[in-house]
């Protein structure tokens, strides 16, 4: 596996792959890799001849506060995992390589970035869209792979790739979960034991909402079911609870007549150093 730290080095590596006629797949990550990331790599391996992974904790998608500094970093372990998974090249830039002195250009999906999770974390999706555009431009892949857990992020990236005519196929990969239902996330290792025990409430709340949908519940009923379930878990502080029509990513109301996306986010742990976890579920209309 080639380990590249400079833009020029990863470009040379990818040019080498392309010279051999390979289809290149990109898996962008912020490191602290877990089985969910490896599922993205496996998906990329299945579709592409060569797989490139990026590890970059992107400062522009973090809000003010401690979350960026607290984000887990485990480079040696990440490299070993990627090597074991047969990845062809990993790009591990410094902040100054991605945002050189004088950098002033941003990419923003002007509607999507401000809704839902974006309203709770202003600027977050602009940071994501900007860094993903840079990483796509640097590595020029044919295919790029993202987790479905970050449901709104995936919608933002799909929209931006479409709007900017980016020559890449964007793939969503289903969420991997621990045995108790907690969605795998690099942030899970920051949870204190009691919060780790409480965190599966997100998946349980989504299960209850899905069961309600099967009994004919409206979107409003389902959101109430989620709020009530999370409220019963005193260690969780609900930050966001939203429903969107999956085809348009517009707010959903009333009966479930089309594919629906439910998104929740909640904080655990100390109020001055919280761990923010998110989860999502797609609901297909009955008989659909």
Q: Minimum distance from CB of 32 to ligand PAF (Å)?
A: 9
* 34 part of the active site: no
Q: Which is nearer to ligand PAF, 129 or 198 (CB)?
A: 129
The correct pick among 128, 155, 183, 199 for binding ligand PAF (CB under 6 A) is 128
- Is residue 26 near ligand PAF by the rule CB under 6 A? no
Cα dihedral 256, 258, 259, 263, rounded to 10, equals: -50
Q: Which is nearer to ligand PAF, 103 or 220 (CB)?
A: 103
Q: Minimum distance from CB of 30 to ligand PAF (Å)?
A: 4
Binding residues among 222-281 for ligand PAF as defined by CB under 6 A = none
Q: Minimum distance from CB of 31 to ligand PAF (Å)?
A: 9
- Is residue 30 near ligand PAF by the rule CB under 6 A? yes
Q: Which is nearer to ligand PAF, 150 or 210 (CB)?
A: 150
State the CB neighbour count (10 A cutoff) for residue 187. 18
Closest CA to 243 of 276, 205, 274: 205
Q: Kindly indicate which of the ranges 64-72, 90-98, 128-136, 217-225 contains the residues binding ligand PAF, using the contact rule CB under 6 A.
A: 128-136
Q: Kindly indicate which of the ranges 126-134, 136-144, 175-183, 198-206 contains the residues binding ligand PAF, using the contact rule CB under 6 A.
A: 126-134
What pairs with residue 2 in β-bridges? Answer: 89
Q: Minimum distance from CB of 265 to ligand PAF (Å)?
A: 14
- Is residue 131 near ligand PAF by the rule CB under 6 A? yes
- Is residue 28 near ligand PAF by the rule CB under 6 A? yes
- Is residue 44 near ligand PAF by the rule CB under 6 A? no
- Is residue 53 near ligand PAF by the rule CB under 6 A? no
Q: Which residues are catalytic?
A: 37
Tell me which residues touch ligand PAF (CB under 6 A). Answer: 28-30, 58, 61, 128, 131-132, 150, 153
């Amino acid at each position: 596996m080639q380990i590249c730290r400079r833009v020029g080095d990863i470009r040379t590596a990818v040019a080498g792959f392309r010279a051999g006629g390979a289809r290149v797949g990109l898996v962008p990550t912020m490191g602290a890799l877990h089985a969910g990331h490896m599922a993205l790599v496996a998906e990329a391996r299945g579709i592409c001849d060569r797989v490139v992974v990026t590890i970059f904790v992107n400062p522009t998608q973090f809000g003010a506060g401690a979350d960026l500094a607290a984000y887990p970093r485990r480079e040696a372990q990440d490299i070993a995992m990627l090597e074991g998974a047969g990845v062809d090249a990993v790009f591990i830039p410094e902040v100054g390589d991605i945002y050189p002195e004088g950098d002033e250009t941003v990419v923003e999906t002007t509607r999507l970035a401000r809704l839902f999770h974006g309203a709770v974390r202003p600027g977050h999706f602009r940071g994501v869209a900007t860094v993903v555009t840079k990483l796509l431009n640097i590595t020029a892949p044919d295919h790029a792979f993202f987790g479905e857990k970050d449901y709104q992020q995936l919608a933002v990236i799909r929209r931006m790739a479409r709007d900017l005519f980016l020559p890449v196929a964007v793939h969503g990969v289903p969420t991997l979960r621990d045995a108790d239902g907690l969605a795998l996330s690099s942030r899970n290792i920051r949870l204190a034991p009691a919060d780790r025990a409480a965190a599966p409430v997100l998946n349980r709340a989504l299960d209850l909402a899905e069961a309600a949908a099967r009994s004919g519940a409206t979107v409003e009923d389902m959101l109430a079911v989620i709020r009530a379930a999370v409220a019963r878990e005193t260690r969780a502080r609900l930050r966001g609870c939203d429903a969107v029509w999956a085809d348009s990513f517009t707010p959903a109301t009333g009966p479930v007549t089309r594919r629906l996306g439910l998104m929740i986010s909640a904080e655990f742990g100390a109020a001055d150093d919280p761990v923010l976890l998110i989860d999502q579920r797609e609901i297909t209309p009955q008989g659909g």
